[in-house]
A and B are shown apart, each in its own frame.
Chain A
Amino acid sequence: MSISEKGNPNALANAVSNLDLDTPEKPYLDSNELIINMGPQHPATHGVLRVILKLDGEKVLGTECVIGYLHRGVEKIAENRTYTMFNPYVDRMDYCAAVSNGLGYCEAVEKLMNVEAPARAQYIRVILTELNRIASHQLWLGTHALDIGAMTPLFYTFRDREEILKIFERYCGARLTTHAFRIGGCQYETYAGFEKDVTNFLSFFAPKIDEYEALLTTNRIWLERTKNVGVISAADAIALGVTGPVLRASGVKWDLRKAQPYANYSKFDFEIPIGENGDTYDRYLVRMEEMRQSMRIIEQAVGGIPEGPIMGKVPKVIKPPVGEIYHSIEAPKGELGYFIVSDGSTQPYRLRVRPPSFVNLQALDIMVRGLLIADVVAVIGTIDIVLGEVDR
């Protein structure tokens, strides 16, 4: 067997033989079952995801995801880098929410070292992380709507996301993989006019969400394509470890920012939006509302940034004591966790990333069974995966 087997069409036959899918009692149409590949190069898979579909006509009988095309061995890299050197790598996992990844990693290491970032740094972190959550949801909305056939939202969301990226750029010089935080606090002081930029963004963006909603929320085509599509019950979602907006849309009111507050989220007022039906439409509504709630958090945070240092008392050489820690945050896509084992040296002995996209993707199968191929596209979009994070 060669290493490049994934690219080999014959591998499909092997993969299929492993598909143990329940055959329905009576066929949907009087046709033969068909196995086809969706991806890995497919615009609607949001990266390099290959889904093997078992079909009866247009109807999906089962799926199997083949992932790993973007595997870079992030966890192995971590073992060969110091804690500080590894920091920028985490931005490359979920590159749509690099700031969140950085926050999770820095907090995990801080926890392992038993230090805390100063208050001012916490505020800056929350503002940037929530801005990033909005940016991530905007990107999701644009591409998700595009997949389903609505092209305009993509232009709207990218136009408005630009404003957030500009703030990032002015703050730390980078737009996407920001590397905004350091272990112990923040590297950069806010630039002159940071608060004003953020406030301006809030007043600029509030009507824009309404604009998105005007395009979609009551749009008949949108409703037809998303209502009762990709339904997942709360029990199934929990059993499959699904987190984030997907879990909340199924009616579970659970958000790590509230359940086990990290950073200084306990200081801010915000609601956890939840859905009822656990379908694609509810997930859409939940994320739209989350953007509004993020704006609320930012509004409170930006008005209250305290003075003070932005870097905690951490040594130049990061050497956490022997021990292990698990720390997780509510990333835009769900629970992002870091499990770090330290042997007392400057390099992590073991660093495990618990990626929300990877775990959520596992629910794809249960969500698309019995639907049509076109709905698979909608469901992949609604889970909001980033393959950089799935494969790491």
Chain B
Amino acid sequence: MAEEVKTPAPPPPPQPQPAKTGPSGGSEGEKKPTAEKPAAAESAAPAKPAAPAGKSDVPAKAAAPAKPAVPTPVPWTSPLVEKYRNQYGSGLEALTYLGQNYLSVDRSLIPDILRRLREDEQFDYCVDVTAAHYPKREKQFDVIWILYSFARNERMRVKTQIADGASIASAVSIWPTANWLEREVYDMFGIRFDGHPDLKRILLPDGWKGYPLRKDYGILQQDTEWVQINLGIESGQ
């Protein structure tokens, strides 16, 4: 036991490494600057398409085999996009990155646009619903739907940003498969889906505290706490 009591001392040094995620103030984490990048890239993206789109497209392809020149998202043009752009205007942005199409849409459009993609555009297979956490951003979460259409043999993603604590419309009534997928997003990120028939944790036990895939969720701190409470010993990590 005496040894075990000593063990808590070592953990602090390793902390800077994995505990990259002090909830908001812990600035020693190396992930901090990186967390900002995607957000920055995204906000920069809308400005780009007009000018460098044509240019950046060419080097991306030409340089592909040797050193991947940094590809940038280019605007995605298709009849589908035109149709929705006319209707929804600025709430929607269509981009292509590495040959994959995605729509960034405003949160308020979500149930509507998903339903229309399912019913009018034959995106009848919801491949995945997932999320990503960007703690530095004002709207902290990206929620992503990956869709596929059997008829068109085409894949696309729909993305939206939501703030921490905000909820989003459930897609279960559009694609029943979203049921477990949304439950997993809730389980891992704490994002609530309005209208979900049975929104509860799926992989973690009901009494679990916190949402593990958030960036401020440290693995070591969780491990230490759990072992202490449940096994009554200090963690060996």
Contact = CB atoms under 8 A, between A and B. Distances in A.
A73 B219 CA distance: 10
Interface of A: 1-6, 11, 14, 18, 20, 67-68, 71, 73, 75-76, 79-80, 111-116, 238-242, 252, 254, 259-260, 313, 321-326, 328, 335, 337, 339, 341, 343-345, 349-350, 352, 354, 358-359, 362, 391-392
A260 B127 CA distance: 14
Given A68-B204, A68-B205, A75-B213, 18 more contacts: A3-B229, A3-B230, A71-B203, A71-B204, A111-B98, A115-B64, A116-B65, A240-B177, A241-B125, A322-B37, A322-B70, A323-B41, A335-B127, A337-B127, A339-B130, A339-B146, A343-B34, A359-B177
A6 B201 CA distance: 11
B205 A3 contact: yes
9 contacts: A2-B230, A20-B197, A79-B213, A113-B68, A238-B125, A313-B65, A313-B66, A341-B132, A349-B34
B38 A341 contact: yes
B207 interface: yes
B35 A343 contact: yes
Interface of B: 18, 31, 34-35, 37-38, 41, 60, 64-66, 68, 70-71, 73, 97-98, 100, 124-128, 130, 132-133, 144, 146, 150, 153, 155, 157, 175-177, 179-181, 184, 188, 197-198, 200-208, 212-213, 217, 219, 226, 229-230
Nearest to A324: B97
Contact of B38 (A3, A313, A337, A343): A343
Main secondary structure of the interface of A (DSSP, over half): mixed
B132 A68 contact: no
Contacts of A323: 41, 71, 73, 97-98
Given A3-B230, A5-B206, A80 B18 contact: yes
Contacts of A4: 205, 230
B124 A238 contact: yes
Nearest to B203: A68
B205 A6 contact: yes
